Amino acid sequence: MNAEQIIANLKSLMEEGSAPGKVLTDPADLDNYGKDWTKIYPPKPTAIVLPKTTEQVQALVKFANENQVALVPSGGRTGLSAGAVAANGEVVVAFDNMNQILDFSASDRTVHCQAGVVTEQLQTFAEENDLYYPVDFASAGSSQLGGNLSTNAGGIKVIRYGMSRDWVAGLKVVTGKGDVLELNKDLEKNNTGYDLRHLFIGAEGTLGFITEATMKLSRQPDNLTVLVLGLGDLTNTMDVLQTFQKKIDLTAYEFFSHQAMGHVLAHGQVQAPFETEAPYYALLEFESVSDQVMDDAMALFEQCVENGWVLDGVISQSETQAQNLWQLRERISESIAPRTPYKNDISVVVSKVPGFLREIDEVVTEHYPDFEIIWFGHIGDGNLHLNILKPEDMAKEDFFEKCQQVNKWVFEIVQRYNGSVSAEHGVGMTKKPYLEYTRSAAEIAYLRGIKQVFDPKGVMNPGKIFD
């Protein structure tokens, strides 16, 4: 079946039902929907399909099986591992038009959503109902729920609230064979065999497509307060974390280097938190629910200063000040984007972070002293973001090639520390060659076996995670 025939059949499928979907073939749409935030693989999809219902998705998957048509899911396209890139003539299934909140239960504290609901849309809905959806990240204004779940997105609140996985009460999915499954049916307790929810969460659309999800909500946090500290040494990040966690339940513990903050300040929209310069900074967030909690926080801060771990610090006195301090961390990706950063999203257990980070920094600096390295991340849960910035006079292709050489050294250290080559952005295509650094050969064989069960004809996001 040629491209014209495929497109004609797709249009026919999307016309079915009371809520017609769309098929796009304009070159600008193919480019927009065929890529994510990675810039390594040029997009080359055959067509873009925007379904409105689960039934249309099911019909599409059955058509793909019958005609051996490859499908690539597309959410907010904010991924960093090329998991949503269609580079080989695939049909992109975009969930932008499946963006409705379908049901809400105040007593169960759950909300039933379509996969295209944007993270910020869900957060706002929860807030309007005096509740809270705690999974949060810089792309909340564009990332979609289905994509978040397909990569098990984490973000800035994991230390307190966990990953996306922890907030899923139930899923509706279309498997790679075209079956519609309702998984767990929103139950809190359900010990009836394998919980298939958790196979689809983090599977990057390789087993099937998530079309609806029931998400759990929590109470709203009370008086969130932010403390930014300048640290004298990298190991002080753990000293400060351990000290504060003895008395205060942190909702976030973030880390960034002075170089990272320098790029944010250069944009002129944010001011330095204090005059003292430090090589590293930690951002702590907690609920200041009483004067006692604030007194404890100040006492712990003074203790960290006395021990020489902290050089200076500032604490928010209002919600606006707290938001401004968060900008120091959340604007890093935006500020370095013009430099075409090569990103690595890696993790180890929290206690190993300082030594792990130092080893990687030394290796990269030794081999590529002319590359600028930017560190930041969710250090409270062991997740670090290594960003290597492209020199202005170097071609993008040459830069990416050199970074591929860096990967081997970095991931050998990751493997030695029993860490992960992808903490929260999935495997996609960019991490596919390095899966063996985190997963054993036996594990990968089982992963392939699971793929074969749910997608025997290999039409669901082929070429992602493994070939």
| Residues 202/151, Cβ–Cβ less than 8 Å | yes
| Residues 421/401, Cβ–Cβ less than 8 Å | no
Reduced to 3 DSSP states, what percent helix, strand and coil does the chain have, rounded to the nearest 5? 40, 25, 40
Rounded to an integer, what distance in angstroms lies between the CA atom of residue 291 and that of residue 299?
12
pLDDT for 410: 92
Torsion of CA 24, 25, 29, 33, to 10 degrees: 70
| Residues 81/38, Cβ–Cβ less than 8 Å | yes
pLDDT for 364: 86
Phi then psi for 171, rounded to 5 degrees?
-135, 150
pLDDT for 25: 97
pLDDT for 79: 87
Rounded to an integer, what distance in angstroms lies between the CA atom of residue 411 and that of residue 413?
5
Task: Copy the structure tokens of residue 95.
Answer: 């969930």
Pairing of strands 47-50, 91-94: parallel
pLDDT for 156: 93
pLDDT for 365: 86
| Residues 262/372, Cβ–Cβ less than 8 Å | no
Ordered by where they begin, the domains of the chain are 1-220+426-467 (3.30.465.10), 224-329 (3.30.70.2190), 340-425 (3.30.70.2740)
**Crossing angle for the helix pair 291-306 and 236-245, to the nearest 10 degrees:** 150
pLDDT for 390: 93
**Cα–Cα distances in angstroms (integers) from residue 151 to residues 107, 134, 210, in the given order:** 29, 17, 11
Amino acid identity, residue 5?
A: Q
Taking the CA of residue 292 as centre, how many other CA atoms within 13 Å lie in the half-sphere pointing to its CB?
2
Mean pLDDT by 10 residues, the chain (467 residues): 93 88 96 90 96 97 98 93 95 98 98 98 98 92 95 94 97 98 97 97 98 98 97 93 96 96 92 95 97 96 97 96 95 91 92 91 86 92 93 90 88 96 93 96 98 98 96
pLDDT for 138: 82
Rounded to an integer, what distance in angstroms lies between the CA atom of residue 71 and that of residue 94?
10
Taking the CA of residue 53 as centre, how many other CA atoms within 13 Å lie in the half-sphere pointing to its CB?
11
Rounded to an integer, what distance in angstroms lies between the CA atom of residue 325 and that of residue 311?
17
pLDDT for 49: 98
Phi then psi for 52, rounded to 5 degrees?
-110, -20
Rounded to an integer, what distance in angstroms lies between the CA atom of residue 170 and that of residue 188?
9
pLDDT for 346: 94
Torsion of CA 207, 209, 213, 219, to 10 degrees: 70
Map residue 135 onto helix, strand or coil: coil
Map residue 433 onto helix, strand or coil: helix
171 CB-near residues (< 8 Å, 6+ apart): 149, 181, 182, 183, 184, 197, 200, 201, 210, 212, 213, 214
Phi then psi for 371, rounded to 5 degrees?
-85, 135
* CA 6-8-12 angle, 5° bins: 115
pLDDT for 406: 85
- Residue 228 burial (10 A CB sphere; 0-12, 13-18, 19+): buried
**Cα–Cα distances in angstroms (integers) from residue 331 to residues 256, 261, 276, 334, 390, in the given order:** 11, 9, 21, 5, 19
* CA 368-370-350 angle, 5° bins: 60
- Residue 233 burial (10 A CB sphere; 0-12, 13-18, 19+): middle
| Residues 467/432, Cβ–Cβ less than 8 Å | yes
CA 160 centroid distance within chain: 17
Taking the CA of residue 62 as centre, how many other CA atoms within 13 Å lie in the half-sphere pointing to its CB?
10
Rounded to an integer, what distance in angstroms lies between the CA atom of residue 134 and that of residue 155?
9
Strand partners, 313: 229
